[in-house]
Structure 1
Amino acid sequence: MQLLPWISDEFLINAVEKLLIIADKSLQKSETDFNKNVLDPFSAIFQIAGFNISHDEWLIAEKTRQAQKSLQNHVGDFHQIILGGVGSWENLETGQIMDLVNHDKKIIAEIKNKYNTVKGSDLSGLYQAMENLVSNKYSTFKGYTAYYVTIIPKKPTRINTFFNPSDKEKGTKFSENHDIRLIDGASFYEIVTGDPNALFNLYQTLPTVIQKLTGKEFKSDTINQMIKYFELAYGSSHSKG
């Protein structure tokens, strides 16, 4: 039985495997580069004392923290790859002006893993790039809708609204444009797949895929806790329908 109805098992498994390899390399790099990075010795001693942990516990936590920072940069790429593997959606790859396009639906999208991935001062540049793409009569994407997708939104609610950040030159917000939108990850996954619960179903499927690839089994209490983390990000009413 297919794991998810809107993407092939092979594509999903390959995307997960790619991110697991990056995670492993990130941890290895944190090990080899640990003494090369500038550490805060004052923070270290106060963490050990204030958190009532041993040096070994602090060391593991610090190496994990460094690896986590590297890994998080690639989680947004994971979503870009997954979304680009659905139907007529196309992953434009890193370095392009936008991340995803669907010519049939006339949609382009910029995918970011978290609402604060892009600095506030850089949002105006993103808006202007989107406006130029969908409004310029010479643009390939003239008449398309541009979405700024924050997979993890600022608040655990679904959003699909105008994206009109502040113009850093004028100090006022850009005009509302129906074709330039801010949307959360769950809502955008629904647009891409047609399944209102697609993001949650993907999340629930990951332990099965990871076990298949690594042999690591997630215990039921761990999975239940992971679902609670999902609910903290997207709300307890994350499942629609």
Structure 2
Amino acid sequence: MQLLSWISNEHLYSSVERLLIIAEKSLKTSESQFNKNVLDPFSALFQISGFDISHEEWLIAEKTRQAQKSLQNHVGDFHQIILGKVDGWDNLETGQIMDLVHKDRKIIAEIKNKYNTVKGSDLSGLYQAMENLVGYKHSNFKDFTAYYVTIIPRKPERINVPFTPSDKEKGARFSTNEAIRLIDGASFYEIVTGDPDALFNLYKCLPKVIEDLTRKPMPVDTQKNLFQYFTSAYGTYPSSTNKEIG
């Protein structure tokens, strides 16, 4: 059974499996490198005392935190890979100026996992790179629309507005250019797939995909709690308000 209408099960499962492998490697690396990293002994002391936890509990939490930090760097890549598998879209791979392109629709996009992934001081450089791509007459992307995609937005609401960060040299915001835009993940998934609930539907089917790959069932209560995190990040939309994961 096809889980999503806009991506094959083969591509979906391979993309999820890749991230699961990275997660497993991140935890193993955290454990093997733990004693090689310089730990903050003051932070450890006050966490154990202030949180009223044992050293063993702190140790598990600290190793998990380090692994989580490594994994989060790859979650944005997961979305880039997923979106790049949709018909007509090309994943430009790591190291290129932009992440995704649809040549026929004249769209390019830079994908970041969270609204604060890029430091404020670096946003002006991103804007200028986009401006050069869509405005320079000899650019391969002349007259395209460039999107800066934050998969997880600052607020649980949909946005698709001109991207106008501060110009750090002039101390003022860049002028509005309708072809250079800031957009949240749910809205961009809709642009790519045509499904207004594409991001929700992806999230909804992930527990099944993960269960199939790991052969480990995910408790229903866990899935419901995870769904609450999704709605906290994105709110609800008309066709998915009363849906549940599972």
TM-score (norm 2): 0.96
1:237 offset after TM fit, Å? 3.5
For 1:30, give the aligned amino acid.
S
Alignment of 1:82-101 (within 5 A): 82-101=82-101
Q: How far apart in 2 are the matches of 1:82 and 1:104? A: 19
Q: Which residue of 2 aligns with 1:31?
A: 31
Cross-structure match for 2:5: 5
Q: Deviations over 1:142-169 (max 9, x none)?
A: 0100000000001110000010100000
Alpha-carbon separation, structure 1, partners of 2:14 and 2:238: 26
Question: In structure 2, how many angstroms separate the alpha carbons of the residues matched to 1:238 and 1:88?
Answer: 28
Look up the match of 2:21: 21
Partner of residue 45, structure 1: 45
Q: Which residue of 2 aligns with 1:214?
A: 214
**C-alpha contact 2:98 2:108 (8 A) present in aligned 1:** yes
In 1: Cα distance, 2:214 partner to 2:41 partner: 36
Does residue 1:81 correspond to 2:86, yes or no?
no
How many angstroms does 1:79 deviate by? 0.2
Shift of 1:240: 6.0
CA distance in 2, matches of 1:172, 1:115: 20
User: Contact (CA 8 Å) 1:157, 1:234: kept in 2 or not?
Assistant: yes
Structure 1 238/219 Cα, relative in aligned 2: closer, same or farther at 3 Å? Answer: farther
Residue 154 (structure 2) aligns with? 154
- Distance change >3 Å, CA 149–CA 3, structure 1 → 2: same
Residue 49 of structure 1 deviates from its aligned partner by 1.2
- Secondary structure, counterpart of 1:157 in structure 2: coil
Structure 1 outlier segments of 4+, above 3 Å: 236-241
Distance 1:109 1:240 in 2: 26
CA offsets per residue over residues 173-228 of structure 1, 9 Å max, x none?
00000000000000000000000000011001111000111012111111110000
Deviation at 1:45, TM superposition (A): 1.2
Aligned to 1:185: 185
SS in 1 for 2:3: coil
What 5-or-longer segments of structure 2 have no aligned partner?
242-246
Aligned position for 1:145: 145
State the 1:238 CA deviation: 7.4
Q: Secondary structure at the match of 2:98?
A: coil
Give the whole-Å Cα distance in 1 for the aligned partners of 2:141 and 2:232. 36
Kindly indicate whether the alpha-carbon contact (under 8 Å) linking 1:196 and 1:240 is maintained by their aligned counterparts in 2: no
Q: Output the CA distance in 1 between the equivalents of 2:225 and 2:83.
A: 26
Give the letter aligned to residue 203 of structure 1: Y
| Distance (Å, rounded) in 2 between the aligned partners of 1:57 and 1:207 | 27
Q: Distance in 1 between matches of 2:238 and 2:30?
A: 35
Counterpart code for 2:215: G
Matches within 5 A, 1:153-172: 153-172=153-172
Percent of pairs identical after alignment?
Answer: 74
| Alignment correspondent of 1:227 | 227
1:113 aligns with 2:89: no
Which residue identity is paired with 1:93? Answer: E
Alpha carbons 1:200, 1:238 under 8 Å: kept: no
Answer with 44-53 or 175-184: which moved more. Answer: 44-53
Deviates more, 1:86-95 or 1:36-45: 36-45
- Does the 8 Å CA contact 1:197/1:238 hold for their aligned counterparts? no
| Deviation for aligned residue 1:115 | 0.4
Structure 1 residue 172, shift from structure 2 partner = 0.5
Structure 2 CA distance for aligned equivalents of residues 112 and 217 of structure 1: 30
Contact 1:165 1:173 in 2 (8 A): yes
Is the Cα–Cα contact under 8 Å of residues 163 and 176 in structure 2 kept in the other structure?
A: yes
